[in-house]
Every structure is written in structure tokens, then in C-alpha cells.
Amino acid sequence: MLAFNAKTCCLCSQIRGEESNDLISTLLPRGPYIRRVSWESEHFAVLPSLGPLAPGHMLLCPKGHVKNMACLSGTYDNELRAVKRALCEKLTEMYGLSVHLFEHGSPKEGTRIVCTVDHAHLHFVPADADVWESTRDEVKWNSVAAMPSDLRAVAGCAEYLYYESPDHRAYVAKAEGSMFESQYMRRAFARALGNGAEWNWRDNPCAEEVHQTYVSVREAFAR
């Protein structure tokens, strides 16, 4: 099993169904508690993202508390690839758009928490946008295969950015010398989608929209 060691992680609480620290639940009107996990496998959970950048914006998270996807053991590679593929196919079917993936991975060691959430979460964004063009010259990207093993090999223990295009071209950028701006990839997507002022999920959580996305994706997987 994956390691678990975060009593105050809001994503852990949402995955485990603990109301008191479930951030989406606290932002919605009081009512019967709902564990907002739209779909799950043995070791991974699919959740709606607060501050959605586009309709259908979802997160793929390890059920155990892991700081970034590069920290995952190779034991879970096959399961992770299968869940990624299934989620991309379902979102494309639902929204009629190709799906972009990204992650801002926290460093394995140290106290820096990027994007204010210290739990690995891979973003899935259905969108007709050229995000790559808006980021390719701003950071030093390394082309990699869209495989967990390649991410581990390139990212190592460092803070990193990961981007995977709808046609499965994947890139990793390691933080070297200076750290990446918080929510950097969110900012890039917001610019590409023409929503430049709405990148910050804390300022624009859109909790009601997030709940509806949870319901829609859950029902789509249940059919």
C-alpha cells in the first residue's frame, strides 16, 4: 500500500471521506456530507478541481499521501497508466475536447509546499488551447516519454513542472537555482484560455461548479 502520513491534508481528507478537513465540503452550503470522488481504482482517486480552468477540470491523485507523482513507486506504473488513459477517454467523450495534463511537483525533501497543497495531483483539463506555445520559451523543458518511469528519471527529488499534450508529447522542467512561480501552470492555462485573471483557485474556487462536475463525471463512469 502507498504510505499515508498527512493528518491535515485536504486531499487526503476528501479521498478518505473525512468531512472536517474536506475543503470542497467546507465551501458549500451545509448539508449531508458527500465524499466527492468521481471514480477510483485501488490506489488512485479522481476528484474535481477547485478553481476549474475549464469545464471538466479533474485531478488524479494517489490515495496515499505522496508529495508528487515522481515519488510513486514503479509498482503502480501500470495502474497509473490505465487510470490516466481511462480518464482522458471519458473526459474527451463528455466534453468533445482533447485533454491536457500538467503537474507542479513539490520537492521530495524540504518544507516548500507548491500550489499550497502538499499532495501529488495530476491535472486533466479538456480544452482547445495551445498551452505549449505560451510556456515553451519561459522555462527549460526536457522532452520525455509520457511514462511514469521517465518522469522519475528526469525529475529526481527536485521540484518540477510536468506537461503532457493531448497527443501525448510530454515535457519536464526541473527547478534549478530558483523555484517556479506558485500555480505557474494554472497561470499559463488561464492565459491560453483567455481567463488570465481567474488562475488562482483560492480566489475563484467555484465550489458549486466543482460539485456539478463531480456529479457529471461520476455518472459518466457509472454508465
The mean pLDDT value for 77-87 works out to: 98
pLDDT digits (tens, 9 = 90+) for 40-75: 999 999 999 999 999 999 999 999 999 999 999 999
Confidence of residue 116 (pLDDT cuts 50, 70, 90): low
Q: Is the pLDDT of residue 115 over 70?
A: no
Cβ neighbours of residue 111 under 8 Å, at least 6 residues apart?
Answer: none
**pLDDT value at 6 more than 80:** no
158 in Cβ contact with 174 (< 8 Å): yes
Which pLDDT score, from 0 to 100, does residue 156 have?
Answer: 86
At 110, is the pLDDT very low, low, confident or very high (cuts 50, 70, 90)? low
Give the phi and the psi of residue 202 in degrees, each rounded to 5: -70, -35
Residues 6 or more apart whose CB falls under 8 angstroms from that of 35 comprise: 14, 17, 22
pLDDT confidence of residue 106 = 86
CA separation for the pair 130, 109 (Å, rounded): 33
Mapped onto helix, strand or coil, the DSSP state of residue 85 is helix
pLDDT at 10 over 50: yes
pLDDT given for residue 5 in this prediction:
40
**Predicted local distance difference test score (pLDDT) of residue 157:** 82
Answer positive or negative: Cα dihedral of 115, 169, 75, 58: positive
pLDDT for residue 177: 66
Per-residue confidence (pLDDT) for residue 2, from 0 to 100: 41
Verdict on whether the full-model pTM lies above 0.75: yes
* pLDDT band, residue 113 (cuts 50/70/90): low
| Range scoring the smallest mean pLDDT among 90-94, 119-123, 167-171, 201-205 | 201-205
Average pLDDT over every residue of 73-81: 97
pLDDT in tens, 120-168: 999 999 999 888 887 888 889 999 999 999 999 999 888 899 999 999 9
Q: What is the pLDDT of residue 118?
A: 82
Q: Tell me the H-state helices in 68-206.
A: 77-95, 131-135, 148-155, 184-192
Average pLDDT of span 196-207: 85
Instruction: Enumerate residues 6+ apart whose C-beta is below 8 A from 73.
Output: none
Mean pLDDT of the chain: 90
The answer, yes or no, to whether residue 108 has pLDDT greater than 80, is no
Answer whether CATH 3.30.1310.10 is correct for domain 10-222. no
Beta bridge partners of 58: 48, 124
